[in-house]
Structure 1
Amino acid sequence: MIEIILYKRVAGNVGFCVSGHAGFEETGKDIVCASVSVLAINTVNAIKSFTDDRFSLQYDEDGKIDMMMKATLSPTSQVLLDTFELGMTSIYEEYGHDYINIKIEEV
């Protein structure tokens, strides 16, 4: 199962952690894992490319990605993190409780 934690403050999203594997299909054919991975990696890359905002990023070879903004977010970063949440929620709604779990953690 993929575990997704959305890090939030009163002002909105400030980061996320994605870990685990969906088990929807065999390795290399798992569209749930691929979808989640693309959204997570693209969000990090977009914030890095399109903003000057600072963030911490930790990842490992098992596919865990943990990203947290370090300071006040620009409007662009906020939109990108909100878009990440929308995408993850859409995947969750499509594939259900067996493959993805989403939690919100106030930080």
Structure 2
Amino acid sequence: MVRLVFYRAKEGGWQGFRAHGHTNYAQHGEDIVCAAISVLTQTAILGLTRVIGIDCLVRVDENEGLLLCILPAGLTGEQWEQAQLVLNVLHVGVLATEEGYGTHVNVKEVPYRENKSAIIRLKKGWRKHEKRQRLCRAAFRCKKS
């Protein structure tokens, strides 16, 4: 099952989202539910980064089926409004997907008070994860040569 978590911002909108897991609806390459979630989340990130020009915290781990996107602090009012539009469209899209394929998709909202520390933990966790990956790659290269 793929789990999507939407984090509320202090201002009441969305601070970002996290998608984790695999839908297991069908075999790899034939999974329409996975394709739907992938298209929705990746299009949202493209809209935020390329169309609006926001430098989001984006992390991807294909092996884990993990995608994280967090809005940075200090957005202009216009950027914030545009980002909320994109994230609301994503939220509605994944809720509709959950409605049709609820055994394969789970969507959760985390209120601001709970997510403030959750986002900090996610950022710290990603730094540790990236450090481990770099050390692993370095060790593998050393053993190989």
**TM-score of the pair, normalised by structure 1:** 0.91
Identity of aligned residues (%): 26
CA distance in 2, matches of 1:52, 1:91: 27
1:82 paired with 2:83, answer no
- How much has 1:61 moved relative to structure 2? 2.1
Q: Distance in 2 between matches of 1:38 and 1:48?
A: 15
Structure with higher strand content: 1
> 61, 64, 67: which one pairs with 2:66?
64
Number of residue pairs the alignment of both structures matches: 106
Equivalent residue for 1:29? 30
Aligned: 1:93 with 2:99: yes
- Rg larger in structure: 2
Structure 1 counterpart of 2:92, one-letter code: L
Q: Which residue of 2 aligns with 1:40?
A: 41
Unaligned stretches of 5+ in structure 2? 116-145
Q: What per-residue deviation string (whole Å, max 9, x for no partner) do you get for residues 45-65 of structure 1?
A: 111112133310111122310
Could you tell me which runs of 5 or more consecutive residues in structure 1 were left unpaired when the two chains were aligned.
none
How far did residue 30 of structure 1 move? Answer: 0.5
Please give the alpha-carbon distance, in whole angstroms, between the structure 2 residues aligned to 1:103 and 1:58: 19
Matches within 5 A, 1:43-54: 43-54=44-55
Which is bigger in relative contact order (C-alpha 8 A, separation at least 6)?
A: 1
RMSD between aligned residues: 1.3
4+ runs deviating over 2 angstroms: none
SS at match of 2:62: coil
- Give the structure with the higher percent helix: 2
Q: Judge which range, 35-44 or 55-64, deviates more.
A: 55-64
